[in-house]
Amino acid sequence: MQKALLVVLILLFGCSTGNKITRRDLTGAQKLVGLEFSKTEQETMLGYLADNRAGYDSMRKLKLDYSLVPASYFDPRPDHFKLKVRQKDSDWKLPDQVILPSTDEDIAFLNVAELGALLKSGKLTSTRLTKIYLERLKKYDTLQAVVTITETLALQQAAAADAELAEGLYKGPLHGIPYGIKDLFAVPGYPTTWGAEPYEKQVINETATVVKKLEEAGAVLVAKLTSGALARGDVWFGGQTKNPWDLKQGASGSSAGSASATAAGLVAFSIGTETLGSILAPSARCGATGLRPTFGAVSREGAMSLSWSMDKAGPICRTAQDCAIVFEAIRGQGEKEMDRSVVNYSFAFHPPKDLKGYKIGYFKQLFERDTTRTRAANDAMLETMKSLGAELHEIRMPDSVHFNAFDIILRAEAGAFFDELVREHRDRLLSEQDESSRANSLRQSRFISAVEYLQAYRHRKLLIEKFNKILAPYDFVVGPENGRNLSLVTNLTGHPAMAIPSGFDKQGRPTSFALIGNLYDEGPMLEAAYLLQQATPHEEKHPDFFRK
């Protein structure tokens, strides 16, 4: 095991005398792994290392397509796990009567359920609604939330939706609704830039499964929205995506464009992705409602990968009700599914009158330790839950977990996906090159050994068992959006989670509240979020600058 560790490091670290690997190389590499081998042991390794280096060089001669995934697949299910079956049909709680607002600005900020009612009744056409959003996407470019406006495609899809609705062909509540998608997903004829300079002109002429599913639901794609460069942060090759509530502040995680555009009323809803916080963090920052589904709930076919075992796609909307509607449309396998991590399972959205029927856990210690700007809002949300009949049961984060080890998994998998980028030194084209940049993360990933990567996976398995044991007795649990290690843990275990608006801080910026569901069981969490939003006004408030 120790020798295998050095094999990887030496082959990737480089040699002091051209391609020949020497004992001096071994001696230096030992410092990276905290191991020591004798002179004799080092001498016996040299031929072995040379053979492995030849194997690496052989593999590098073949260019791998971005869509090719490893032959192993991450399964987040703990031992003896059983899928819950939800047999009820969903009740979306769609409004019967919606009055058409008198201004385009007010129309733009309606939620999906309200817009769907207007389109179905004929009070509003998809073409008019699409033009409203197209105009706003162009007008509010100060947000730097848009990479490409798909105007031609959008107007074609809107016209088709209007014709179908006029003929009585109603596909459901997303029929004719304009949306935006994070620019990690492929759409034929348009750039798929991954937010990064090396891929600024990249066009992938295939349709991502999520886009296909939304087409089938009758939704209208109006824009490809910004991703932080290679899914990191809110900085892309065009600048920094802004928080619509405070234009001096970035929009946070890499689904920055999706959250920012949704909160600013530039799209009715959007699609984002998350590996380690990139749906929940920008949703929280921008005052949107974001759903990160269970790992494997939504196909990632046709999308850039950052971590094959951690990436998830999900909706960013104005309400939990909208998230449920969009999730129903995008979940599950596509017609010719290539993403083998996708699991088909039952889902139902059927909100009751109150929270009395749910068993709810809450991370009491995390809430009490929160001394940030969100503390007052968190306390208020907990009181709202109690007023709705909730009985909260204290739970704690799993103990004896080595959190520092887990980022190894993400960094190693990202390094493999962007292997060619780094070997060709095109990572130097990225605008951010500091210690915390994606470029630096990819470079250092070359020195993560396969042994430590697999050891991290074994620790991950322990975490999965411990965390599921904590959550399994409950329908869902709640915690502070910024709870220590909460995002890291739930992304590693694959659990679904939500960020919903919880109020505003003293500077008038949104605060957010987190809900976490059980694996492959988003329904109770979404239903509870819907009830909370029915009882509070936070999701109904919108940034003034974008109502002009």
Q: Cα(370)–Cα(365) distance, rounded to whole angstroms?
A: 9
232 close to 255: Cβ distance less than 8 angstroms: no
CB count in 10 Å sphere of residue 545: 14
362 close to 381: Cβ distance less than 8 angstroms: no
Q: Which residue among 126, 131, 182, 307 is the active-site one?
A: 182
Q: Where are the beta strands (DSSP E) in 386-544?
A: 392-394, 476-480, 497-504, 510-517
Sign of CA dihedral 376, 378, 384, 387: negative
DSSP 8-state assignment for residue 71: S
Q: Cα(290)–Cα(497) distance, rounded to whole angstroms?
A: 8
DSSP 8-state assignment for residue 404: G
| Residue 358 structure tokens | 């749910």
DSSP 8-state assignment for residue 418: T
> Residue 29 phi/psi, 5° resolution?
-70, -25
Coil, strand, or helix at residue 86?
Answer: coil
Q: Which residue among 126, 227, 254, 441 is the active-site one?
A: 254
- Amino acid identity at 13: F
Q: Is there a catalytic annotation at residue 278?
A: yes
Sign of CA dihedral 235, 238, 239, 243: negative
Q: Is there a catalytic annotation at residue 254?
A: yes
Q: Which residue among 126, 252, 278, 487 is the active-site one?
A: 278
Q: Could you list the active site residues?
A: 182, 254, 278
